Amino acid sequence: MTQTETLYSTMDELLADQEFAGRPAYDLIREIQDLYLEDKKPWVIGYSGGKDSSVILSLVYVALTKLKKEQRHKHVYVVSSDTLVETPIVIDLVTSTIDQINKHAAENELPITAHQVVPLMEKTFWVNLIGKGYPAPTQNFRWCTERMKIDPVSAFIKDKVERFGEVIVVLGARSQESASRAQVIAKHKIEGSSLSRHTSLVGAFTYMPIEDWNFDEVWMYLLGAPCPWGGTHHELFALYKDSNAGECPLVIDTKTPSCGNSRFGCWTCTVVTKDRAIEGLIESGETWMKRLKALRNWLYRSTLPHNKGYYRNIKRRHGKVDFARNQNLSDSYAEREHTYGPYQMKWRQHWLAWILRLQEELNQDKHRITLITESELHNIREEWLTDPNEPDWDDTLPEIYKQITGKAFEKRPSDRNFPRKEARKILESLEEEFEAPAELVMKLIDLQHSMDQSGNRRGYLDKIDTLLNKDWGTIEQILANREATRLDTDLKRELQEKDVENKAYETIEADSDDDQKKSRQLNSLYDAELTLLTKEYEELLTEEREFLANLEGQH
């Protein structure tokens, strides 16, 4: 049997001759037809491109072709999730299958349409990692699954629930795949029905017609006869054989097991130590994927504990330096475990250049591939311009893009055109003289500019206060400031605990000369600091207004 031949020449011959999970194949086709005719709930087939979801898609497709035209009374939606970082060969196969289904179904008047859903632009892998600086996903911080897989498919299903009241989601889940999956299937089964309740989506039911099939039965069905929409599944089989991997299931809730150590999924996945699927494809001849693997491995190395300080900012995105709390550690910040923040801007710029260069090279080598979309680039640029810790006043993304591609980056009308690059250099030159971090002043100017653009100054002082209360400076300076604050707080607490009669702090009456001396010193200290901060704040606002006026005059 060659790669284009099948054991049976037609699907009818296979169905008439084979049993699956101990029942004749035609019995399952009739079960699917009966469930379809039972009510008006539309169906949603979850299609990941793997072997199990391919069987489900084929079974439902065959069942509908064997119904009379007037019986095909409700629509069947096929939904596939494209995270935008899927393994290129897999997503090409999925896209090709979706095109074939839509074409063949329309020609044969079948109520089936196939759709690919993608994450919202602000939730894609590159916008989060390169734009916002999120660290690459790990077992302990797997931020990708919900944003990139669950949310797009759930939104698609919710839309159909809102339109039709209830839907049936058809999935290729099998109990033999894993013990955890078998438990989930059994837990939500409706007694006396072939349906289960969806674990999280109200109004959605799940139907899993091959839950009792074994591995061999899946491949017997797929390789035994031609696809009902044309062609065969030999290309899918070759992909499995070459990659030594199982597919990443279409994930529709947080209880569905995500990709394991061996899977088709995102080529950027850093949850696993080694991507066996890509390595298998490379060994089978797809050597061009070594370049994808190199970038993925670099991202993986950035997640290792000893590398965090090298790649990531000392502050979190909320602008504060955080420390892991542990009862066995000292109260001193210096002796707690430092929790690092997002990737430093220089690394995000480096990785963007790498991706763009790789995309250019692969397309020049006749690999039609998109590693990062134009929409993602616009979102990344906006994230860089407004970064909470390292605002990119040089606006480097258009420059990186032009340097790599040779083309000008088409800025959107809504993109910021504030003259920042020259201003940054001036602020950095004045940083030491005025003991004011350039990044803080840049954020204050950004705030002023945004307020002027919107015309709404509500909450202006509160936003300034928020910026001033973030951590600025080196880690040593931040720790020193925190330690000084802690000592002042301890002194205040000591005096308050001894004040058993008066509630107001300013009327403390100490029981000893030492306490009275401490009280007077503390009041003097706070009065002096308050006066100094007020003066510095007023000077900062004056300098900001003058600086903005000069910039506007220059441009």
- CA distances to 313, 476, 477, 486 from 482, in Å: 18, 10, 9, 6
Per residue in 111-120, pLDDT tens?
999 999 999 9
Report the percent of the chain where pLDDT is more than 90. Answer: 49
207 by DSSP, 3-state: which?
strand
82 pLDDT more than 80: yes
Per residue in 304-313, pLDDT tens?
999 999 999 9
pLDDT at 232: 93
Place of tokens 């030999």: 234
Phi-psi region of 182 (alpha: psi -120 to 50; beta: other; left: phi over 0): alpha
212 pLDDT more than 80: yes
Q: Of the ranges 457-461, 463-467, 538-542, which one carries the lowest mean pLDDT score?
A: 538-542
Q: Which residue, 270, 286, 246, 241, is CA-closest to 88?
A: 286
pLDDT at 463: 79
Q: Give CA–CA dist 280/242, Å, rounded.
A: 6
Q: What is the mean pLDDT of the chain?
A: 82
Sign of CA dihedral 503, 507, 513, 515: positive
- CA distances to 20, 32, 250, 510 from 209, in Å: 11, 8, 16, 79
Contacts for 77 with CB less than 8 Å, ≥ 6 apart: 42, 43, 44, 45, 112, 113, 114, 115, 156, 160
Q: Give CA–CA dist 421/171, Å, rounded.
A: 53
pLDDT range class, residue 445, cuts 50, 70, 90: confident
Q: Give CA–CA dist 539/546, Å, rounded.
A: 11
Which secondary structure element, helix H or strand E, spans residue 97, and what is its range?
helix 88-107
pLDDT at 351: 97
518 pLDDT more than 60: no
pLDDT at 65: 97
Q: Of the ranges 125-134, 438-447, 507-516, which one carries the lowest mean pLDDT score?
A: 507-516
pTM: 0.76
511 pLDDT more than 60: no
- How far the first Cα of the chain sits from its last, in Å, is 74
Higher model confidence: residue 184 or residue 299? 299
Q: Give CA–CA dist 106/485, Å, rounded.
A: 71
Q: Of the ranges 137-146, 362-371, 414-423, which one carries the lowest mean pLDDT score?
A: 414-423
Per residue in 151-175, pLDDT tens?
999 999 999 999 999 999 999 988 8
pLDDT at 486: 62
pLDDT at 180: 53
258 pLDDT more than 50: no
- CA distances to 146, 213, 307, 322, 397 from 341, in Å: 21, 46, 13, 8, 22
Per residue in 213-250, pLDDT tens?
999 999 999 999 999 999 999 999 888 887 655 544 44
